[in-house]
Amino acid sequence: MLVNQETHATLQRFSKQLLSAQNNQQVFLALHHCLNPLPFKIEFGVMQRQKDQSQYHFLYGQPDLQQNSWFDFSLFSSNLELNSLVFLADMENPRVCVYRFPFMNNEFFFIFVFHECSSELPNYLLALLELATLALQNLHTNFLMQRQNDSLHLLVQMNELTGLLPLRQAMEEAVVNFGKLLGDARIGIMLFDESTSELVLQKPAFGHWEESLINMYRIPLNRGGNAVQVFLTGEATLTNNVYTEDNYLIEYVKLFGHDVAIMTVPLAVRNRRIGVIHVGKSTGTFSGDDLQYFSQLSKHLGVIIEGALKMDNKLLQQFKRQDVESFICNRLIQDILKGNLEDEHYWFEYGHLLRLPVERPFNTISLTFYTSNLLPITLTKYEKIIYQTIRNYFPICGILNNEDKVYLIMTYQESINFRKMLVSLIESFETTLTNLLKTKVKGAAGIGSVAKTLKDISLSHKRANVVLKYARFSPNHISVYHETAAWSMLAEVAINQPDIAKQFVATHLKEVHQLKPELQETLECYLLNERRMKKTAEVLFIHPNTLKFRIEKIESELEIDLEDFEQRLNLIASFRLEKLLQSV
């Protein structure tokens, strides 16, 4: 055992470490480090159990302890004396001692396992535990104070918006902001639909926006289950392992991932229940403090949602008109892009009311946005931002949001100012999406051929998608069909003589397709950038030396010489034709 002087020094260091601890894990880690100087090995772990529940959860040291054959949860019962170091009577080798510490609505079990022991060891462990538990209590107090301050700040912000936000926007604000107060928890709000006697999940929910998925989460009151029970009784529930509970409808839980810990609290306004709130997370646990805290927040949230419902009733007719206009506009644009002219007269007669272009000639633009690893971004969830931003630059145009692309139809403009506005639009989107996604986003645009009539818009749209494939290699990431010269010729072959184009591609890219994907991408990018090493490396996000190695490997495996102009020309044409065939 450590001599008294060493023990005193260790406790002093431990006290200083605890002062800088930011969370429980850092306290447990510091305690574990204090066991290392001992002349014999001690295994250490911490378990947590909620009062009145049989479920245990490891907070620290699980791999070391549970791998032992002697380990059994039944050894750690509520019969153990509180705040005392108890040696388990049935454990002689190894020796196991447990410190049971009541903490709010939980109990912590500090477990020490060793094969050797000294008379001074229990007192040393008790001194460490006294400091550690005090630090845990201080951390918890500071955490509650900070969370209270955060929630007050948020409630002030949300209350200022009461009655000013429609329901969907109020839901979005509540789900995002209230979820932050509980760390990595995900929130879903269910409102009671009196017309169907169902609890209906609202959008967004549990980090998801897909309406088809959210619409599946409708629970009739006669179905029963946890949500119905909370709604009917007004009593909140908490579980840290939903899969061991009989009262949860697991098929609904699995719709949104694998949340294990779930709190459900009633949502009420002036003692009238209007729904429930689910809070879930896949790792970690909730405490009784969390349940009490969120139950208080739900009272404020109920007031906010009631204000949003009133707002919706006031604007119901306006929203219906906007929905109808949006539906008509989207249908018209979809039909025109497909070449369906059945409602051509409607376009010219009512287009100005829908802010569609009615002056000939027309032009089409295809926009796309992607991350640094060239993955396209799904844009449907940002529909409102997209429409508002585009209208700021081009007030009169047809807009269609189609998964990872946005299609525009507008009156043809040849001015330089139009190009500048399009560049500014792309840059605006790049900034907005980068901030939203917390990752670098780049955009590109393909401009189709001039369409003299509505009938020509379909072909212009196809050509815009064709040149969009290579827009990221063009100046300002904008590619214009009529400016692409050889591109236009290749595009015409791909559109009008696809069999010849496919044969040409197969002849020149058969062996290329046997290369690894990264080498195929490198070869194509290298050729399109006219063999400029620095530019190619920047586009591929790799080091120039890596690029040089790849080029040498490509030439070796394909047995070609990229100094040969004819070979380069055939490869470039084949790569371009392949992309064109995919987009036709």
What pLDDT does residue 149 have? 66
What pLDDT does residue 486 have? 64
Between 54 and 209, the higher pLDDT residue:
209
Q: What is the pTM for the complete model shown? A: 0.39
- Token pair listed for 311: 């707002």
By residue range, what is the domain housing residue 473? 339-484
Which domain-ending residue is among 484, 511, 534? 484
What pLDDT does residue 289 have? 77
Rounded to a whole number of angstroms, the distance between the first and last alpha carbons of the chain is 79
Between 381 and 249, the higher pLDDT residue:
249
Between 102 and 303, the higher pLDDT residue:
102
State whether 307 and 167 are in the same domain: yes
Radius of gyration of the chain from Cα atoms? Answer: 32
Q: Of 37-46, 311-320, 513-522, where does the model show the most confidence?
A: 513-522
544 within some domain: yes
- Token pair listed for 574: 């084949």
What pLDDT does residue 305 have? 65
- Tens of pLDDT along 140-189? 777 767 666 666 665 555 555 554 555 556 556 666 666 666 667 888 88
Give yes or no for residue 400 having a pLDDT over 90. Answer: yes
Average pLDDT rounded to a whole number, residues 559-569: 89
140 within some domain: yes
Q: How confident is the model at residue 315 (pLDDT cuts 50, 70, 90)?
A: very low
Residues 6+ apart with CB under 8 A from 240: 50, 53, 55, 57, 260, 261, 285, 286
Between 54 and 241, the higher pLDDT residue:
241
Between 55 and 240, the higher pLDDT residue:
240
Which domain-ending residue is among 313, 347, 382? 313
Give yes or no for residue 371 having a pLDDT over 80. Answer: yes
What pLDDT does residue 317 have? 47
For residue 286, the domain's CATH number is 3.30.450.40
Average pLDDT rounded to a whole number, residues 73-78: 67
Among 151, 395, 389, residue whose Cα is nearest residue 292? 151
What pLDDT does residue 366 have? 95
Give yes or no for residue 313 having a pLDDT over 60. Answer: no
396 within some domain: yes
Q: Any idea which of 290-304, 390-404, 445-459, 541-555 has the lowest mean pLDDT?
A: 290-304
State whether 458 and 579 are in the same domain: no
Give yes or no for residue 3 having a pLDDT over 50. Answer: no
State whether 167 and 309 are in the same domain: yes
What pLDDT does residue 487 have? 63
State whether 575 and 506 are in the same domain: yes
What pLDDT does residue 557 have? 92
540 within some domain: yes
Q: Any idea which of 2-11, 505-514, 523-532 has the lowest mean pLDDT?
A: 2-11
Q: Report the percent of the chain where pLDDT is more than 70.
A: 79
State whether 183 and 132 are in the same domain: no
State whether 133 and 235 are in the same domain: no
Give yes or no for residue 5 having a pLDDT over 80. Answer: no
For residue 429, the domain's CATH number is 3.30.70.270
47 within some domain: yes
- Asked if residues 240 and 55 have their Cβ atoms less than 8 Å apart, the reply is yes
575 within some domain: yes
- Asked if residues 254 and 209 have their Cβ atoms less than 8 Å apart, the reply is no
Give yes or no for residue 362 having a pLDDT over 90. Answer: yes
What pLDDT does residue 318 have? 46
Give yes or no for residue 337 having a pLDDT over 60. Answer: yes
- Asked if residues 441 and 369 have their Cβ atoms less than 8 Å apart, the reply is yes
- Tens of pLDDT along 91-143? 667 788 889 888 766 788 898 888 777 778 888 889 899 898 888 888 877 77
For residue 134, the domain's CATH number is 3.30.450.80
Between 503 and 176, the higher pLDDT residue:
503
Distance, in Å, from the CA atom of 498 to the CA atom of 504, rounded to the nearest integer, reads: 10
Q: How confident is the model at residue 314 (pLDDT cuts 50, 70, 90)?
A: very low
Give yes or no for residue 368 having a pLDDT over 90. Answer: yes
89 within some domain: yes
Total of domains in the chain: 4
Q: How confident is the model at residue 255 (pLDDT cuts 50, 70, 90)?
A: confident
Average pLDDT rounded to a whole number, residues 480-508: 76
For residue 560, the domain's CATH number is 1.10.10.2840
Give the mean pLDDT of the chain.
Answer: 81
Q: What SS3 state is found at 96?
A: strand
Helix axes 121-160, 24-33, angle to 10 degrees: 160
Give yes or no for residue 324 having a pLDDT over 60. Answer: no
Among 68, 306, 43, residue whose Cα is nearest residue 192? 306
Q: How confident is the model at residue 406 (pLDDT cuts 50, 70, 90)?
A: very high
Q: Any idea which of 220-234, 317-331, 453-467, 475-489 has the lowest mean pLDDT?
A: 317-331
Average pLDDT rounded to a whole number, residues 214-242: 88
- Asked if residues 10 and 2 have their Cβ atoms less than 8 Å apart, the reply is yes
State whether 400 and 518 are in the same domain: no
Average pLDDT rounded to a whole number, residues 374-390: 87
- Tens of pLDDT along 22-45? 888 888 888 888 887 777 788 888
Give yes or no for residue 485 having a pLDDT over 60. Answer: no
State whether 183 and 302 are in the same domain: yes
Average pLDDT rounded to a whole number, residues 214-220: 87
State whether 475 and 501 are in the same domain: no
Which residue pairs, CB below 8 angstroms and at least 24 apart, start in 77-83? 78/107, 80/109
Which domain-ending residue is among 423, 455, 484? 484
State whether 235 and 354 are in the same domain: no
Between 331 and 465, the higher pLDDT residue:
465
State whether 105 and 169 are in the same domain: no
Between 338 and 116, the higher pLDDT residue:
338
Q: Of 143-152, 343-352, 490-499, where does the model show the most confidence?
A: 343-352
Helix, strand, coil shares of the chain, percent, nearest 5, are 55, 20, 30
State whether 479 and 499 are in the same domain: no
539 within some domain: yes
- CB count in 10 Å sphere of residue 385: 15
